[in-house]
Amino acid sequence: SQKIEQNSEALNIQEGKTATLTCNYTNYSPAYLQWYRQDPGRGPVFLLLIRENEKEKRKERLKVTFDTTLKQSLFHITASQPADSATYLCALDAGNMLTFGGGTRLMVKP
Amino acid sequence: DAGITQSPRHKVTETGTPVTLRCHQTENHRYMYWYRQDPGHGLRLIHYSYGVKDTDKGEVSDGYSVSRSKTEDFLLTLESATSSQTSVYFCAISGGTSPWEFGYEQYFGPGTRLTVT
């Protein structure tokens, strides 16, 4: 079965620095991978998706990379702000079906 | 925000009682999903629907049933609630139209916090 792993430990960084979150997967080669943000007490919100042949995708201060050889996606937030503090989830896209990782909590300190 | 609501938002019930959670969408999307979220397990798919009266099981479907009699409503029923079903339940929708379509993001509802005592 598909397995998708994110660092379960919280990531603490200083405001202004770049946050890098990792998503690793096994037993599957997804054509797409999606990233979501989840704030406490709320449902996840879609941020970005990347296709296997895109390697890198950007949206404002967000950047996602997708390495199908390493079976890994990296999610970067540049010039991080305290408002970026949240849990970030990655998800394998299996065709209208998503398998989510456990999420990584990001804390940006002022 | 996508037009998706869940009711109730909070519920406390006793072991052995039936519970029904409702998801309502105003987007006319074909796909609807029920997930549960627990510490240490992340989001896990319970059941999903790809059209009216068309449903299928997800990863953790035991003890749950679903129904979809209208495009806009997707119901999740716990026939006899157990303490292991204490969780936060999320409904989601997607704009895809067939099983082999990729790249459709999901829109999530606000969640229902269910406690089974």
pLDDT digits (tens, 9 = 90+) for A85-98: 999 999 998 888 89
Confidence of residue A2 (pLDDT cuts 50, 70, 90): low
Is A89 in contact with B43 (Cβ distance < 8 A)?
Answer: yes
How far apart CA B22 and CA A71 sit, in angstroms, is 37
- Residue A73: name the closest of A101, A106, A96 by CA: A101
Q: How far apart are CA B45 and CA B91, in angstroms?
A: 10
Interface test with A, best of B35, B104, B107, B112 (most A CBs within 10 A): B104
Q: Given pLDDT bands bounded at 50, 70 and 90, which one contains residue B97? A: confident
CA distance A82 to chain B (A): 23
C-alpha distances (whole Å) from A31 to each of A85, A106, B79 are 29, 27, 37
CB nearest B105 (choices: A34, A51, A99): A34
Judge contact between A101 and A41, C-beta under 8 A: no
Nearest-Cα distance to chain B for A89, in Å, is 9
Partner-chain residue, chosen from B31, B102, B108, that has the shortest CB–CB distance to A44: B108
Which has the higher per-residue pLDDT, B13 or A53?
Answer: B13
- Alpha-carbon gap, residue B27 to A57, rounded angstroms: 27
Q: Is the CB of B48 less than 8 angstroms away from the CB of A100?
A: no
Strand locations in chain A (E): 3-6, 11-14, 19-26, 32-38, 45-51, 56-59, 62-67, 72-77, 86-93, 98-100, 104-109
pLDDT score, position B58: 93
pLDDT at B101: 79
DSSP string computed for B19-65: EEEEEEESS--SEEEEEEEETTTEEEEEEEEEETTEEEE-TT-TTEE
- pLDDT over threshold 90, residue B7: yes
- The residue among B99 and B24 whose pLDDT is bigger is B24
**B13 contacts B28 by C-beta, under 8 angstroms:** no
Interface test with B, best of A49, A96, A100, A104 (most B CBs within 10 A): A96
Model pLDDT for residues B36-64, shown as the tens digit of each residue? 999 878 899 999 999 999 999 999 999 99
CB A26 within 8 A of CB A3: yes
Confidence class for position B16, pLDDT limits 50, 70, 90: very high
What pLDDT digit, counting tens, does each position of B29-40 carry?
999 999 999 987
